[in-house]
Amino acid sequence: MADIVKIVIDGREIEACAGATVLEAALSAGIYIPNLCHHPDLEPYGGCRLCIVEIAGMRGLPTACTTRVTDGMTVKTYGGELDRVRRDTLQLIMANHPSDCLSCAKNQRCELQKVTAYLGVTERTMARTMPEQEVDDSNPFFTLDRNYCILCGRCTRTCAEIVGVGAIELMGRGDQTRVGVFGDKTLMESDCRSCGECMARCPVGALRPKVNVVPAYEVLTTCPYCAVGCSIYLGMRDGRLVSARGNKDGGANRGMLCVKGRFGATEFVQHPDRLTTPLIRGDNGQQPADWDSVLDLVAARFKSYAPDEVAVVPSSRTTNEDVYVAQKLARAALRTNNIDNCARL
Amino acid sequence: MAGLATQFGSGAMTNSIGDIAQSACLLNIGANTADAHPVIAYQMEQAVRRGAKLIVINPRRVGLVRHADLWLRPRAGTNVSLLMGLCRAILDNGWQDDAFIAERCENFDAMKQSLEQHDLDSVAKITGLKVSEITEAARMYALNAPAAISYAMGICEWSHGTDAVMAVGNLAMITGNIGKPGAGVNPLRGQNNVQGACDMGALPGIYVGYQSVADTAAHEKFAKAWGNTSGFTPGLTLTQMFDAAAEGKIKAMYIIGENPMLSDPNSTHIEKALRKLDFLVVQDIFRNETTAMAHVVLPGASFAEKDGTFTNTERRFQRVRKVIEPLSGCRPDWLITAQIAQRMGAAGFDYASPQDIMREINALAPGFAGITYERLETCGGLQWPCPSVEHPGTPVLHTHLFARGRGRFMPLEYRPPFEVPDKDYPFLLDTGRALFQYHTGTQTRRVAGLNKFMSEEKLQINPKDAAKLGIHEGDMLAISSRRGSVRARAALTDVTPVGTVYMTFHFRETPTNLLTSPGRDPVTHTPEFKACAVRVEKVL
C-alpha cells in the first residue's frame, strides 16, 4: 500500500496517496477542479492551465495536475484571482472553438462543455486568433478536424506514451500550433496504426469516429481476433452493431484496443456474405437444404465410419463451450482421438 | 507447447500480461508483437518508458525494435544456437541463479555438458552475430531481474521448434526467472481462443483440462461421465490427419471455423487430402476455400451471436456475450455439434445453454472447477488453474514447485532448417501476419476500412536484393518454391534482412501457403512456416 498523506482542499481535510498529484487527490475525493489536458492514463502535462490552484506557502498559481501532494498541504481551488485567470484561459480556448455544439459529434460528451458549464461562461469575449484549419479526412475510421482542437495534447501524448508510435505531434508555435504529422502529411501517410486510442481520449470533437452513432445499449464481451483477449463493449442501435470501445476493467487490455478491435470487430458480423443456410453438395454443386435433413444426413454418415476413419478439427476461434462439445462428440460419439486444433500451426 | 510441457509440466504462458509492468527486463524473441498482439506491445512500450530494458531478437526489424535497448538480428532459423549461446555466456560469467538451479531444477549437468558445443565463437558463426552482442544480451537479461521472455511463432514454426522452446525454458531456469511476478516464459498465442481450444481437449492426446487419454483413471472418469469414450492411444495431429486423408485412411472430417486450404502449409497437399475425403463437413460463418470443398456446409454463429467464454494467452477465461440473436438460419456452434451427436444416438448432449456446458467442464476438469459463469459475472476474468469457487485464480505459474515437480533442463544441439536457400531457390521466405488483416481474411476483408490499409499481398524484399534483381517498388513478381508459384507486388523495405523475403497469408488471390515447406517439427508436427527456399522473378 502506498503511504497516505493528509491535505486540506477548500477547508476539507482529505486523505491522498503519497506521490499523487493535487488534481488526482481532489478528483478521487470527489472534489472537481476544472481540467482538460489531464487524463488518468497520461503523464502530468500542465498544458491547459485550467486546474490552477493556490497552495499555502507556494508562489503563483501552480497547476494541480503537475503538483504532487505533501503532508499537511493546504489547497484553495476557487475565488478571486483563480476565478478570473481561469475564465480568461477558458476564453482563449473558446475563441477558436466552433459553437455548433448541437450538431457536434461530441455533444453532451464534450469536456469543454463541462468546463464551460461549471465556470458559468455563457459568452465569448475574445475574437478568433487562429486561421481556419485543415481537416484530415484520410483515415477510414476517424477524422482529425483541427478546427475543434483545443491543443490539450492528449492525442499526441497518447500516441507517444500509450501506444509508443508517435505518429502525431504538436507542431508549429503560437497561432500556428497544430496537431500534425511529420512533414505535414496526412494520417494515412504517417506511421499511424489507426488504433483510435487518441480518439478515445480526445475531450472534444476534434478526433471523432466516422461512424458516429450513439448506441442504445452496450454489451460487455471479448474481442474475437488475437489472443490478448481485450475486453470490449459492443454497442447496439436499431438492430445493428454500431460501436466498440475498450473496457477499463479488462484484465488484459485495461481499456486499450488496436485497430481491429475498435474498428474491425462489428462490420463482418451482419455482413450480407454470411452463410445463413446449410448447404449439401449434389450434382449441381452445393445447394441450400433444411437443417433437419442436413443434421440427419451428417449423423447417419458419421455413424457409418470406424473411429480411426474420422477426424474432427474444432476451431480456435470459437468459444470454449463450442470446442468442448466438439471434442466430446469426437470422443464419446465418434469414439476417436483424431481431434486437433490449429495450435500447432 | 510440448517443449514447455516437458520442462515445466505446463505449456501455457507462465505469467500474466499485467506482469509486464513489473519486469525489469523484457526479452522478446521470434515475435512481431506490435502487429500480432498490439495491446501487449503497448504495455511493453509503456514498461520501457518506465525504465525496463527491452531486448528484441528478430531477423526482421519489427515494430518493437524502435523501443529496444538492444536488437539482435540473427540469421533466421538459428534460435537454438543463439539461446544456448546466451545460457553459455551466462554460465561463463557466473550470472546464473545457482540456488534456483539447485533447489528447483534437475538435469542441469546434462544441459551444461551440451553447452560445450555452443561456445560463443561457434554461436556467432551460426547466427551471424558478434560475440559482444550475445554477451551483452545475456548480461542484460541475467542481471535485470525479474526478466520475462515473450515469444511467438518465430520460435515455434520451425522443424526445430520444440528445441527452441526448450532453449527458452533453459534460459529462464538458469537465471531463476520462473515463478515470480514480472518473470516467466510467455508464449503469445495466435488466435483468440487457441489456449482455450487446447484447454478444452481439442488435442489428440488429452481430455479437457490436460488429462491424458492414456491414463486409466481419466479414461474411466470420462467413460462414466459421458457413457462412452475413445481409446487409450492418442489420435492424429492436424498435419497427420491431412496425410492420412491423402492416403485414404481418414475418410470423413468435421472442420469447424478453420480454413486450412489457405492457412495450412503446402496447400496443394491439403487440397489433395480434402478432395480424397469421402465426406467433409465444414462449419463456418462465411464461404471460404475450405467450405468450397465440403459435402455439407453448416452455418455457425459469430462471437456476437452466442454466449460462452474465450481463454486468452494468459490463461484467463473471459465471457463472450450474445449481443444479437444468431442471424436467421444460423445456429450456435455448440448447438449444431450437440444436435449431430444427439441424432447419432449419443446421450449427454441435451444442453440448455453454454452455462450448462461450463458446469460439465467444472465437474470434469479440476483445474477449471472454480471458473463458473456466476463468478465471471462479477470479476473480469479468472486465470487457470482455479480449482474451487473460492480460489482467486493463478496469475503466476510454478511459484513454489513446477507443475511437474522440478524444472527439467534439456541438452540441445543446433539443427539447420529443413529447407535452406540454394542456387535455384536463393531466398528464404518467412511468413507471418500483418496488423490490418487477420489470418485468411474471411472477417477482416469484409471490413471496408481495414482494406484501405492493406488490400493485397506484397512481397517484402530488402532494397539491396531488389537492386540486384532490378526490382522496383510495385513491380509484379512471381515467387516460386519447389511446391508452387504465386504472384505479388514488390514492397522494398529493410524491415526484412538481405536474403530473406516476407509474405503474409491473408489473401486468397496470393495463396502464400502454396509455397511453404513440408518440413515439420518431429515432436509437435508443427510446420516450418518460417522458412522455405524461394526464387523471385519479375513478371514482365
**Of residues B388 and A130, which shows the higher confidence score?**
B388
Q: pTM for the whole thing?
A: 0.95
Second-level CATH architecture of A4-119: Roll (3.10)
Smallest Cβ distance to B299: which of A162, A230, A277? Answer: A277
Measured in whole angstroms, the distance separating CA A278 from the mean position of its chain's CA atoms is 38
Domain boundaries, chain B: 2-188, 191-232+300-388, 236-297, 427-538
| Interval B443-459 mean pLDDT | 92
Nearest C-alpha of chain A: how many angstroms from B94?
Answer: 35
Say whether A253 sits in a helix, a strand or coil: coil
Strand partners, A15: A6
| Closest Cα in chain B to A313 | B255
**Mean pLDDT estimate for chain A:** 94
Cα–Cα distance for residue pair B500/B255, rounded to 1 Å: 34
Which pLDDT tens digit goes with each residue over B184-203?
A: 999 999 899 999 999 999 99
**In this model, does residue B266 exceed pLDDT 90?**
no
Tell me: pLDDT of A197 over 70: yes
CATH 2.40.40.20 corresponds to the domain B427-538: yes
Smallest CA–CA distance, residue B231 to chain A, in Å, is 7
pLDDT at A292 over 60: yes
Q: Is the pLDDT of residue B237 over 70?
A: yes
**B contact test, residue of A162, A241, A319 with most B CBs within 10 A:** A319
* Rounded CA separation B530/A122 (Å): 63
- Chain A contact for B107 (CB, 8 A cutoff): no
Given this model, what pLDDT does residue A240 score?
A: 94
Q: In the structure, what pLDDT confidence band is assigned to residue B519 with cuts at 50, 70 and 90?
A: confident
Which candidate in B54, B303, B360 is best for mutational testing of the A interface (most A CBs within 10 A)? B303
Q: Which chain B residues are closer than 8 Å to A340 by Cβ?
A: 202-204, 235-238, 241
Question: What number is the average pLDDT over the span B25-38?
Answer: 96
- In this predicted structure, what is the pLDDT of residue A132? 87
DSSP-based helix, strand, coil % in chain B, nearest 5: 35, 20, 45
Output the pLDDT for position B176: 97
Q: Are A339 and A327 in contact (CB under 8 A)?
A: yes
pLDDT of residue B267: 85
Nearest CA in chain A to B3: A344
pLDDT one-digit tens code per residue, B50-108:
999 999 999 999 999 999 999 999 999 999 999 999 999 999 999 999 999 999 999 99
Phi/psi for B447 (5° steps) reads: -110, 105
Give residue A2's pLDDT band: very low, low, confident or very high (50, 70, 90). Answer: low
Residue A164 and residue B41: Cβ atoms within 8 Å? Answer: yes
Q: Is the pLDDT of residue B344 over 90?
A: yes
Mean pLDDT score, A175-197: 94
Tell me the mean pLDDT in the region B282-292.
Answer: 95
User: Which residue in this structure is represented by grid cell 508452387?
Assistant: B484
Choose the closest CB to A194 out of B40, B453, B526. Answer: B453
Residue A1 has pLDDT above 60, yes or no: no
Q: Tell me what pLDDT residue B87 has.
A: 98
Least confident of B16-20, B21-25, B439-443: B439-443
- For testing the chain A interface, which of B156, B337, B439 should be mutated: the one with the most A CBs within 10 Å? B337
What is the CATH number that goes with domain B191-232+300-388? 3.40.50.740
Nearest-10 Cα torsion for A21, A25, A28, A30: -130
Q: Which CATH class is domain A214-274?
A: mainly beta
Share of chain A above pLDDT 70, in %: 99
pLDDT digits (tens, 9 = 90+) for B148-183: 999 998 888 888 889 999 999 999 999 999 999 999
B277 inside 8 A of chain A by CB = no
Q: Average the pLDDT over B283-304 and give the result.
A: 96
Using a CB–CB cutoff of 8 Å, tell me whether B289 touches chain A: no
Task: Flag whether pLDDT at A208 surpasses 90.
Answer: yes
**Cα A143 to Cα A145: distance, rounded to the nearest angstrom:** 6
Q: Respond yes or no on whether the N-terminal peptide bond of residue A224 is cis (omega within 30° of 0).
A: no
Q: How far is B298 from chain A (nearest CA, A)?
A: 5
> Which CATH topology does B2-188 take?
Dimethylsulfoxide Reductase; domain 2 (3.40.228)
Residue B258 has its nearest CB partner, among A241, A321, A342, at: A342
Residue B175 near chain A (CB below 8 Å)? no
